[in-house]
Structure 1
Amino acid sequence: MSGKAARIELTSCMHQILSQLAASRNASRAIIVRARIILLAFNKLDNQTIADTVKRCPKTVGLWRRRWRDSSQALLQMQFNLNQSAFQRAIIDTLSDAPRSGSPGRFTNEQISGLISLACEKPQNSGRPVTSWTGAELADEAQRRQLVDSISTSHVNRILREVSLKPHRSRYWCNTTEKDPELFQRQVETVCRTYYEAPQLYDRQRTHTVCIDEMTRGGPKTV
């Protein structure tokens, strides 16, 4: 009996680079095939179907699915810390024959989460004389709060762009009208915990977590 296939997760940037590699005329044949394997796996094709498509054996498909899965956290962190060219190189390294552990990157997941959380706050709460955040204001405030030792405006903008966060255009659910701060804190914790546990629920119980409210006031629902 075959084991469970490794689940593949891609950001839009990863998908774009893999698509470019899969269609490349300059990349090696091995890199092209492996990029196609990851893209097909992301589309939830099984190993045998992928193997038939790329003319490789299912064992090879499974190996590269696991290699990508095991490298995905390091790649996600590098995406926020590297420019496009360097990140493409990191992906090519991941698809190369020698295993790569990946660079830990400049910023931890906690620091990146803290920056995103800051972008969801009102600038006025930090005494900022602006009605919406800019990359420069966020970089300065993140350093003032000691979330990071230093960070450039362009790096802040790259992080926000990747998670599709546009504080200058939208109001977010974190900017609550709830008057009870303890109640709001419990609501925030419930929503964040639900999103955090969603992948584990899917892996263990095949439970899908679905957000049925654009503003997530009541939190996501599991089905």
Structure 2
Amino acid sequence: MCRRKSAQYMVLRAKIILAGAEGKSLHKTSQDLECNRETVTRWRQHWVERSDDLSVLECLKEAPRPGAIPKFNAEQICQIIAMSCDKPEDHGYPFSHWSENSLSSSMRGWPSHLSGLSKAVLCRCEYAWVLRLGHTSP
């Protein structure tokens, strides 16, 4: 069975479609590719629904998942992280380290999409930064 990696899943999906084009049954395809019948059925159905409107690669991609649209893009998150990496003294503040409160307050004069960020949003941005780069503090 394929591991959960995008490229490998796209190959599996392509094999499912090609097996269908060769006339293989759902059962035979699922046995040959070591996946369940529901997966074969779903991807053959996706192919039929999408093949007229999209390129081959687009047809093999997962459909977008439901959920909230991200409120901040990568550039905005980088601005937040960059600010948290600066020393507060460089911005005229009388303290040596940022807290979520002071960082949030300092952004009040920023463009509207970044001003007044909640402490929770700042914590999530900093936490993501710590996880990605392996730092213990910004």
* TM-score (normalizing by structure 1): 0.35
Aligned residue number for residue 19 of structure 2: none
Q: How many residues align?
A: 102
Query: Cα gap change, 1:40/1:150 in structure 2, threshold over 3 Å: closer, same or farther?
Result: same
For the residue of structure 2 that corresponds to 1:110, the secondary structure is: helix
Q: Distance in 1 between matches of 2:75 and 2:87?
A: 20
Q: 2:101 aligns with which of 118, 136, 139?
A: 136
Q: 1:161: Cα distance to partner?
A: 0.6
Aligned residue number for residue 61 of structure 2: 66
Spell out, residue by residue over 1:100-134, the C-alpha distance to the aligned partner (whole angstroms, 9 max, x if none): 5x654333433222111111211211122222221
For structure 1, the 5+ residue unaligned runs are 1-36, 72-93, 95-99, 172-223
Q: 2:5 aligns with which of 41, 54, 62?
A: 41
Q: 1:54 aligns with which of 29, 35, 39?
A: 35
Q: 2:128 aligns with which of 162, 165, 168?
A: 162
Mean alpha-carbon deviation: is it higher for 105-114 or for 135-144?
A: 105-114
Contact 1:41 1:65 in 2 (8 A): no
Contact 1:142 1:148 in 2 (8 A): yes
**Larger radius of gyration, structure 1 or 2?**
2
Query: Cα gap change, 1:140/1:54 in structure 2, threshold over 3 Å: closer, same or farther?
Result: farther
Contact 2:130 2:137 in 1 (8 A): no
Q: Distance in 1 between matches of 2:68 and 2:4?
A: 26
For structure 2, the 5+ residue unaligned runs are 17-32, 45-56
Query: Cα gap change, 1:162/1:63 in structure 2, threshold over 3 Å: closer, same or farther?
Result: same
Q: 1:153: Cα distance to partner?
A: 0.8
Q: Is 1:151 paired with 2:117? A: yes
Q: Distance in 2 between matches of 1:161 and 1:170?
A: 9
Q: Aligned AA for 1:128? A: Y
Q: Is 1:110 paired with 2:75? A: yes
Per chain length, whose mean CA-contact separation is higher, i.e. which structure has more relative contact order (CA < 8 Å, sep 6+)? Answer: 2
CA RMSD of aligned residues (A): 3.9
Q: 1:164: Cα distance to partner?
A: 1.2
